């Protein structure tokens, strides 16, 4: 399967909203939140194309705290029909490359404690659990993961 990674433009907003709803149901980012993420200059957004169709996308932010800069994975979404084909891994590796090329050496993220697919994905890519986030998602707990980008 040929997976092509490409930049995302605001023109894809409706399609990305549709995928986001498929992936996260009532917890999906709203159209307004996605608009912000697709236009903010500090955000990296990539889509995965399979036969010209968007099979998934990933969004990361560059966070700046005092003198420290780090990458922050905001979301990774793969449409159900294209899951388990390496698309999320490819999107995340590309984001990490872009971060590294900008001189950023750490990437962080939060994930629901019971999201086994995502946890396995992140751990496979080398992210390590560094903390628990009590009731981070309403009543559900989150985990805080980080990776040193080499």
Ligand X SMILES: CC(C)(COP(=O)(O)OP(=O)(O)OC[C@H]1O[C@@H](n2cnc3c(N)ncnc32)[C@H](O)[C@@H]1OP(=O)(O)O)[C@@H](O)C(=O)NCCC(=O)NCCS
In this structure, how many other beta carbons lie within 10 angstroms of the beta carbon of residue 8?
20
The stretch among 33-41, 98-106, 109-117, 141-149 that binds ligand X (CB under 6 A) is: 109-117
Q: Which is nearer to ligand X, 39 or 120 (CB)?
A: 120
Indicate the residue among 64 and 93 with the shorter CB distance to ligand X.
93
Closer to ligand X at the Cβ: 64 or 117? 117
Say if residues 125 and 92 touch (Cβ distance below 8 Å).
Answer: yes
For the beta sheet containing 53-65, the strands, ordered from the edge strand earlier in sequence to the opposite edge, are 3-7, 43-50, 53-65, 68-78, 106-112, 140-148, 128-137
120 scored as a contact of ligand X (CB under 6 A)? yes
- Contacting residues toward ligand X, per CB under 6 A: 23, 75-78, 83-89, 111, 115-118, 120-121, 124
């Amino acid at each position: 399967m040929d997976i092509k990674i490409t930049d995302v433009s605001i023109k894809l907003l409706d399609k990305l909203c549709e995928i986001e709803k498929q992936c996260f149901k009532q917890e999906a980012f709203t159209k307004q939140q996605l608009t912000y993420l697709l236009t903010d200059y500090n955000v990296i957004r990539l889509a995965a194309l399979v036969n010209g169709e968007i099979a998934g996308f990933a969004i990361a932010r560059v966070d700046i705290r005092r003198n420290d800069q780090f990458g922050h994975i905001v979301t990774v979404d793969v449409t159900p029909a294209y899951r388990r084909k390496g698309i999320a891994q490819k999107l995340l590796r590309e984001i990490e490359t872009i971060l590294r090329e900008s001189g950023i050496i750490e990437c962080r993220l939060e994930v629901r404690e019971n999201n086994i697919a995502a946890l396995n994905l992140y751990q496979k890519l080398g992210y390590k659990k560094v903390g628990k986030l009590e009731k981070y998602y309403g009543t559900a707990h989150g985990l805080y993961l980080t990776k040193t980008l080499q």
